[in-house]
Structure 1
Amino acid sequence: MDCTAVLIATYDFLVRIAAGVTVRFVAVHQQCQPAAQSRKLQSSHWFEPCIKPLCEDTLGTCIDTAAHKWGDRVGWAFVQEGRLCTYAQYKEQVDSLARGLLSAGFSKGDPLMIWSPSTFHWTLMAGAAAKAGVLSASTHFGLTPPEFEKCLTTVDFKGIYIPQPFKIFNYYEMLCSLIPELKDSPPGQLKSKKYPSLRTVIIDSDQSMPGCVALRDLMQGGEADLQAAQKGVTAGDPFTIVFTSGTTGTPKAAVLSHSNFINNVLMYDQRAKLTQETVMCNPLPFFHVYGLSVVLARTLVLGAKAVVPAPAYDAAAVLKAVQEHRCTELYGSPTMFVDIINSPLRKQFDLSSLRQGESGGNVVTPAIRSLVREKLHVNVRVGFGTSELTTAAIVTSNDDPDDKQLNTVGRPLPGLEIRCSNQYSLNRLS
């Protein structure tokens, strides 16, 4: 047995990060003297080797490949919308919408904001933008107009996609409050004094709204050469902009490339080991990179099925989705898991199909992991990372020792190099 150090990011490490203080990694050696203190610092730097080469596909290529490999299989179930979509159907609709975007004047690199709850059309817009080379972006569907305005001043968007009113949110009226010229503009020819780059507002509505291009019209496609546009997109090109850090401050724009988005899920899967039989219950919002990765990358790249309970999180909808679609994995933030477990409706549903839980996005304490094991009878896979890396950089595995699964956030993903530094001097900890 060699002396290779296996880097374990402890719960203490995660708590320290959340608290904004200096953090450290703990290295556990296979051959070392028993330490009086189990969390004694051994190393602050680690590189996890990767034996598989990076994938050079774009998301558009993944859409085509998935349709070819799994065409008639259902890849998505939007429970509250009552919609099932196969991989072949997804490609067909994405291609039509991509041609519609190109015909409407969008071109490679044009930023397009998706301001919407988590719906099927959200995924179509993101997929179509990726195929056409348009740079999609997303932010919290519940932003107020002043909050959304900060996004508009951060990126020079050419277009904005909005849905019909959802709950208390009337997106069209909120946009009109920010862009008074919208109601008097011809569709696709917006001229805003405050946002001069903005030309097109796309709305998903059965009614024609002044100044807006209807999504249903774009879905008819157009004469644009999608094949040529798709050939011009490379793995290193930007795929999406995620507005992040909204829970700790003003959201900042993180840009992810196609390569970043796709390779992260491939490296992640070396730990998670999803299969085409995996049915993922995903109540996570698509504007968050975690939910986005589940609904697009794990489906299109890995062939797993995504079940979306509702456009916004609802514990009862999650329980219903797990039972109706026999979900094998349940994803969510720590607070979602606690809410689901504490739901008075939980015992009314059959959750016996579940084989795995997965959580991240905040501190997943040992107590929460133990609670999920006790009440839902599944282990919890925990990830920790940043939006800039596309979700997880460090993940636990069911192959890890049990105490590590309960008390750590695991090991770095293959190919990642991690160093903990002093937050002020940036010097490596020693």
Structure 2
Amino acid sequence: MSAPLSYTHGTSTTPLLGDTIGANLDRAVAAWPDREALVDVVSGRRWTYTEFGAAVDELARGLLAKGIGTGDRVGIWAVNCPEWVLTQYATARIGAIMVNINPAYRSHELAYVLRQSGVTLLVSSLAHKGTDHRALVDEVRGACPGLRETVYIGDPSWDALTEAAAEVPAERADAVAAGLSCDDPVNIQYTSGTTGFPKGATLSHHNILNNGYWVGRTIGYTEQDRVCLPVPFYHCFGMVMGNLAATSHGACVVIPAPSFDPAATLAAVQQERCTSLYGVPTMFIAELNLPDFASYDLSSLRTGIMAGSPCPVEVMKRVVAEMHMEQVSICYGMTETSPVSLQTRRDDDLEHRTGTVGRVLPHIEVKIVDPATGVTVQRGTSGELCTRGYSVMLGYWDEPERTAEAVDRGRWMHTGDLAVMRDDGYVEIVGRIKDMIIRGGENIYPREIEEFLHAHPKIADVQVVGVPHERYGEEVLACVVPRDAADPLTLAELKAYCDGRLAHYKVPSRLELLDSFPMTVSGKVRKIELRERYGTG
């Protein structure tokens, strides 16, 4: 009898939600009217579920007054703030499609996204990290003829938008909401492509509401939870795993700062008695490395989510022991799958939380296939991870050819990640198909070397990439953020540390010391940029 195949699916006696996002929020307001729904630490503003529901309804009617209808695209180009969250739920309420735009985008990227998605109304921050958003919008307006109006948060134009709600009776908004299907598109998120322009993953109410609900259910959210979100709302991590996971369970969203600040994050956890904290591993590393880390009272924490990239064992040990996050969960996903397919469970041991990205969530299928043939491989064998189910996107906005390249005829989403399924169904990510290093015919997975090097006392963070080599085809480069800039690691020290503990072909032959790594919007390190930067060295 042959070994079991790398296929699994999540079963559950709990059905998927059939709601739209607006209807689900209505249920939350009815169930938990007086509990807090949203807290903005910086401004001190707070909303109970009743108040939040009323603010969402007001903004939805304001959008209707501005001529926004079902299927129209509304762009959101802003840092984390309450208005971002209100826009998310207000657009969903009336069936408009919210288009997430990275606040770091410049004119070239902004113009492309506005034009490609057909945004008619843009909600924007006034500025981001010294960049004047108004000036950039004025610059691209001529290239975006479909853009009718821009509303700026913290500006009279925002007040005018909410005041316009008076022109639209509640009955009209209710009638629009009643005509919506949970399968309607509600969100476009642009994935940071490594080549060419980004693609607009188009997601439905059904996609993201259910994914948020199941992520929250898996870590045991109730109306007692308070979720600190230093991760960006413009990515699924913030708006789905954060906002929708919270509101579908009556929990409270806490915004610690407009963008990630480790001290502000821990201060918010302490002040608001948060029970859950999110972040990519580099965020947790930054928090743990604060000189006054021990002075923060984090005893209210019990859980949280770490995602975006693998968590080093030493970091996970500290998060559990020193941040009180005994039930912290690892999630794996991608924007195109709403995003989470695999997640560790609350009672998983340290090895499963650091060696794997969990097991399949309910109502989702996962398989691992031979990248060349598409045939499902046996468990314990490396191949491409594919996922199928309610979470797979509707497609890339207005790009059927690129959709067909990613989603096959069986509706399997091909992730591009190399993975191994264990006998217990837990999945290890061993690298990107594009990231695998081939040195002199040997296949090298950077993740293995990174895990090993993380235990070095002089290394705060490390990324391993392959760069061209005349003799071997590729050689191994370690890009290191030193723990102490005054006492940096040398290549000789690195090689001595690896000697006899790693196969010779895996030992880095080059070392680069960095202050930080280039990141994608979703918190993943841009390895392609490291390869391009140092590939000619």
Q: Does the pair score TM above 0.5?
A: yes
Alignment of 1:181-196 (within 5 A): 192=142, 194-196=143-145
Distance 1:401 1:371 in 2: 14
Alignment of 1:123-142 (within 5 A): 123-142=85-104
| CA deviation profile, 1:221-279 (whole Å, cap 9, x unmatched) | 02251011111111111111111236887432111111111111232244211111111
The residue aligned with 1:339 is 286
Question: Gaps (5+ residues) in structure 2?
Answer: 379-537
Name which structure has the greater RCO, CA cutoff 8 Å, separation 6+. 1
**What SS is found at the alignment partner of 1:256?**
strand
TM-score (norm 1): 0.82
**What SS is found at the alignment partner of 1:400?**
coil
The residue aligned with 1:78 is 40
Q: Does 1:330 align with 2:277?
A: yes
Displacement of 1:294 in angstroms is 4.0
Displacement of 1:366 in angstroms is 2.5
Displacement of 1:402 in angstroms is 4.5
Deviation larger for 45-54 or 226-235: 45-54
Report if the CA contact (8 A) 1:294-1:306 is conserved.
no
Residue type at the aligned position of 1:358: I
Distance 2:33 2:241 in 1: 19
Displacement of 1:54 in angstroms is 1.7
> 128, 139, 147: which one pairs with 1:198?
147
Displacement of 1:154 in angstroms is 2.4
- The number of residues matched between the two structures is 373
Question: Gaps (5+ residues) in structure 1?
Answer: 1-31, 33-39, 180-191, 208-213
Residue type at the aligned position of 1:83: R
The residue aligned with 1:278 is 225
Distance 1:160 1:290 in 2: 22
> 161, 168, 176: which one pairs with 1:223?
168
The residue aligned with 2:82 is 120
> 356, 364, 372: which one pairs with 1:408?
356
Report if the CA contact (8 A) 1:357-1:378 is conserved.
yes
Report if the CA contact (8 A) 1:81-1:310 is conserved.
no
Distance 2:350 2:49 in 1: 37
Deviation larger for 290-299 or 318-327: 290-299
The residue aligned with 1:171 is 133
Distance 1:218 1:281 in 2: 28
Alignment of 1:298-377 (within 5 A): 298-377=245-324
| CA deviation profile, 1:178-229 (whole Å, cap 9, x unmatched) | 12xxxxxxxxxxxx5x32322222222435xxxxxx1211212022510111
**What SS is found at the alignment partner of 2:127?**
coil
Displacement of 1:325 in angstroms is 0.6
Displacement of 1:376 in angstroms is 2.0
The residue aligned with 2:503 is none
The alpha-carbon distance between structure 1 residues 308 and 165, as it changes in their structure 2 partners (threshold 3 A), is same
**What SS is found at the alignment partner of 1:426?**
coil
Distance 1:376 1:41 in 2: 41
The alpha-carbon distance between structure 1 residues 321 and 247, as it changes in their structure 2 partners (threshold 3 A), is farther
Residue type at the aligned position of 1:429: V
Q: Does 1:259 align with 2:202?
A: no
Displacement of 1:401 in angstroms is 4.3
The residue aligned with 1:54 is 16
TM-score (norm 2): 0.66
Deviation larger for 221-230 or 307-316: 221-230
The alpha-carbon distance between structure 1 residues 163 and 102, as it changes in their structure 2 partners (threshold 3 A), is same
Displacement of 1:347 in angstroms is 2.0
Distance 1:421 1:294 in 2: 27
The residue aligned with 1:389 is 337
Distance 1:295 1:271 in 2: 13
Displacement of 1:373 in angstroms is 2.4
Alignment of 1:149-160 (within 5 A): 149-160=111-122
Distance 2:35 2:320 in 1: 31
The residue aligned with 2:490 is none
The residue aligned with 2:375 is 427
Report if the CA contact (8 A) 2:72-2:119 is conserved.
yes
The residue aligned with 2:66 is 104
Displacement of 1:378 in angstroms is 2.4
Q: Does 1:64 align with 2:26?
A: yes
Report if the CA contact (8 A) 1:283-1:318 is conserved.
yes
**What SS is found at the alignment partner of 1:219?**
helix
**What SS is found at the alignment partner of 1:113?**
strand
**What SS is found at the alignment partner of 2:341?**
strand
Distance 1:124 1:247 in 2: 32
Deviation larger for 315-324 or 247-256: 247-256
Distance 1:347 1:280 in 2: 21
Distance 1:310 1:250 in 2: 30
Displacement of 1:95 in angstroms is 0.9
Deviation larger for 379-388 or 279-288: 379-388
| CA deviation profile, 1:324-356 (whole Å, cap 9, x unmatched) | 011111111110000000011312221121112
Displacement of 1:166 in angstroms is 3.4
Residue type at the aligned position of 2:29: A
Distance 2:87 2:349 in 1: 42
Displacement of 1:295 in angstroms is 4.1
Report if the CA contact (8 A) 2:33-2:48 is conserved.
yes
Displacement of 1:397 in angstroms is 0.7
Residue type at the aligned position of 2:153: D
Deviation larger for 109-118 or 393-402: 393-402
Identity over aligned residues, as a percent?
31
Distance 2:23 2:121 in 1: 24
Residue type at the aligned position of 1:257: S
Report if the CA contact (8 A) 2:331-2:358 is conserved.
yes
The alpha-carbon distance between structure 1 residues 282 and 239, as it changes in their structure 2 partners (threshold 3 A), is same
**What SS is found at the alignment partner of 2:285?**
helix
Residue type at the aligned position of 2:246: T
Displacement of 1:176 in angstroms is 0.8
**What SS is found at the alignment partner of 1:136?**
strand
Residue type at the aligned position of 1:53: P
Residue type at the aligned position of 2:309: N
Displacement of 1:87 in angstroms is 0.8
The residue aligned with 2:53 is 91
Report if the CA contact (8 A) 1:282-1:294 is conserved.
no
Distance 2:231 2:251 in 1: 16
- Root-mean-square deviation (Å): 2.1
Q: Does 1:146 align with 2:108?
A: yes
Distance 1:41 1:168 in 2: 58
